[in-house]
Amino acid sequence: MMPWWKQTWIVARHELSDAVRSRRAAVMMVLYVAGAVTSINGFINVLQKLELQIAQTLGVEALSSAGAVTDTLWKSRPFRNMLMSLVGDRSVAMDLLSIPPIALIYGWVAFTFVPMLVMLVTPARVAEEIGSGAVRFVVPRCTRSAWCAGKVAGQSALVILALILSVAGAWTVARLRLPGMDGWAVAQAMMMLAGKTWIYAFAFVGLAVGIAQFHRSPNQATALGFIAWMVLGIVGIMCHFYAGPGIRQIWLVIELIIPQGHRMDLWRMDGAYLLSGCAFLASLGMCYAAVGYAYFSRRDV
């Protein structure tokens, strides 16, 4: 009798190898990597223009490579004070300032677009397997829970692949455009942010797999995944604005059960915040998937 974890591992391994070959996943991964690379390139272009203008204003010779002024700016006390007042939290601002600006841009892009990547790939793959009947070849061979967990694990692994490729692409462009960049420090920062992005994405993978288990149509599942992502985003914004004392504390509770509510914790360097954010996001991912599984475990496939 094969243990559950082994069934899950086999399903996850197959899911990853199969998903990588699917056109939809390949296109979305290419777009994600292209998005990260283009953003970094665009950021460097803006930096160059900014530095050129500053040089012209000051009447000095412009530097051949971008980034030098930014690095100086990043370390200046007035800028740090401005960022602290913008963020509203000294420790978060300090954490952000400890990250190289180019990596920070990468992190912002990675965090912002990873839910979109997940929602465009995961629900369709899972729902297609149910709709086409391919799942009927698997269900008699392993438990439905192992299949569900394997899908979550396989799709999460796909996100890791997308993140690794995006880091490689973004770092390479930054390296080519900013010869003076501290390559090792930026690579480390980007990898750390990619890791955090993955934890954040895990909650969305769980949500996507959960939603897909209710459907047979890939398009319907994708549309619903997208809607869910947008609704969660709107709820996140509402939580931010409406949370307060008294009855408005309900928004703080709602914030706990949406991924966006824990996003800020991942930007911090403080281990306690980081750990709590990771634990919440991982739990949310599993809970979302489990809700879908509760239906899938009894449905006719």
Contact call for residue 161 and another protein (CB under 8 A): no
**Cβ closer to another protein: 9 or 108?**
9
**Cβ closer to another protein: 1 or 58?**
1
**Cβ closer to another protein: 66 or 149?**
149
141-142-144 Cα angle (round to 5): 130
User: Pattern of binders to another protein over 98-137, x per CB under 8 A?
Assistant: -------------------------------x--xxx-xx
- Nearest-angstrom CA–CA distance, 216 and 97: 46
**Cβ closer to another protein: 15 or 51?**
15
**Cβ closer to another protein: 75 or 136?**
136
Contact call for residue 14 and another protein (CB under 8 A): yes
**Cβ closer to another protein: 10 or 63?**
10
Contact call for residue 22 and another protein (CB under 8 A): yes
Contact call for residue 218 and another protein (CB under 8 A): no
Among 1, 60, 247, 272, the residue binding another protein under the rule CB under 8 A is: 1
**Cβ closer to another protein: 38 or 143?**
143
Residue located via tokens 């390139």: 41
Residue 284 beta carbon to another protein: minimum distance, rounded to whole angstroms: 28
- Nearest-angstrom CA–CA distance, 279 and 88: 25
Among 41, 143, 188, 220, the residue binding another protein under the rule CB under 8 A is: 143
Contact call for residue 217 and another protein (CB under 8 A): no
Contact call for residue 298 and another protein (CB under 8 A): yes
Among 63, 84, 94, 144, the residue binding another protein under the rule CB under 8 A is: 144
Contact call for residue 301 and another protein (CB under 8 A): yes
**Cβ closer to another protein: 9 or 251?**
9
In three-state form (DSSP H/G/I as H, E/B as E, the rest C), the secondary structure along the chain is CCCHHHHHHHHHHHHHHHHHHCHHHHHHHHHHHHHHHHHHHHHHHHHHHHHHHHHHHHCCCCCCCCCHHHHHHHHCHHHHHHHHHHHCCHHHHHHHHCCCHHHHHHHHHHHHHHHHHHHHHHHHHHHHHHHHCCHHHHCCCCCHHHHHHHHHHHHHHHHHHHHHHHHHHHHHHHHHHCCCCCHHHHHHHHHHHHHHHHHHHHHHHHHHHHHHCCCCCHHHHHHHHHHHHHHHHHHHHHHHHHCCCHHHHHHHHHHHCCHHHHHHHHHCCCHHHHHHHHHHHHHHHHHHHHHHHHHHCCCCC
Contact call for residue 265 and another protein (CB under 8 A): no
Among 31, 46, 142, 250, the residue binding another protein under the rule CB under 8 A is: 142
Residue 139 beta carbon to another protein: minimum distance, rounded to whole angstroms: 6
Contact call for residue 141 and another protein (CB under 8 A): yes
User: For residue 161, what are the contacts with CB-CB under 8 A and spacing of at least 6?
Assistant: 16, 20, 29
How many positions of this chain bind another protein (CB under 8 A)?
27
Contact 209, 151 (CB under 8 A): yes
Catalog residues that contact another protein under the rule CB under 8 A: 1-2, 7, 10-11, 14, 17-18, 21-22, 129, 132-134, 136-144, 298-301
